[in-house]
């Protein structure tokens, strides 16, 4: 990708597609930021009726949903690392995946081998 904005949009589009494929709907809010060597993907979700039911009615609901989102998120991250590496023309690796079900905040942090530069 030639510029930062196009690269961020490509990553954003990829994650919107993956979230729609897995959850049946896209995220409520999503943005991508590339800074130095890191790529941050932040988003919120529209919870399904089942997820809302679990959250409101089951003991340990936060732990159950956090575990579910971590497992699903890790599969999604693994699937997209090679595409993102191709977008920025260098290897990218997983750093962290933060899941905050109570506040509906999710963050994926990836890191490139070198600083990500654009023309």
For 36-57, write each residue's pLDDT tens digit: 999 999 999 888 899 999 999 9
| Dist. CA 92–CA 77, nearest whole Å | 11
Confidence band for 1, pLDDT divided at 50, 70 and 90: low
The structural domains of the chain, ordered by start, are: 4-112 (3.30.980)
Q: How far apart are the first and last CA of the chain?
A: 9
Q: pTM to 2 decimals?
A: 0.88
Rounded to 10 degrees, what is the CA torsion of 15, 93, 78, 98?
-60
Return the pLDDT at 19.
Answer: 87
Return the pLDDT at 17.
Answer: 87
pLDDT tens-digit profile of 67-112? 999 999 999 898 889 889 988 889 999 999 999 999 999 999 999 9
| Dist. CA 22–CA 51, nearest whole Å | 14
Contact indicator for 46, 27 with CB cutoff of 8 Å: yes
Return the pLDDT at 7.
Answer: 87
């Amino acid at each position: 990708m030639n510029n930062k904005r196009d690269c961020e949009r490509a990553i954003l589009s990829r994650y919107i597609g993956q979230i729609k494929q897995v959850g049946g709907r896209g995220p409520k809010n999503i943005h991508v930021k590339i800074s130095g060597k890191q790529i941050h993907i932040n988003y919120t979700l529209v919870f399904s009726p089942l997820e809302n039911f679990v959250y409101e009615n089951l003991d340990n609901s936060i732990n159950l949903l956090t575990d579910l989102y971590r497992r699903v998120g890790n599969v999604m991250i693994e699937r997209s690392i090679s595409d993102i590496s191709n977008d920025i023309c260098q290897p990218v690796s997983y750093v962290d995946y933060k899941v905050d079900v109570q506040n509906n905040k999710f963050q994926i942090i990836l890191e490139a081998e070198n600083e990500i530069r654009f023309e």
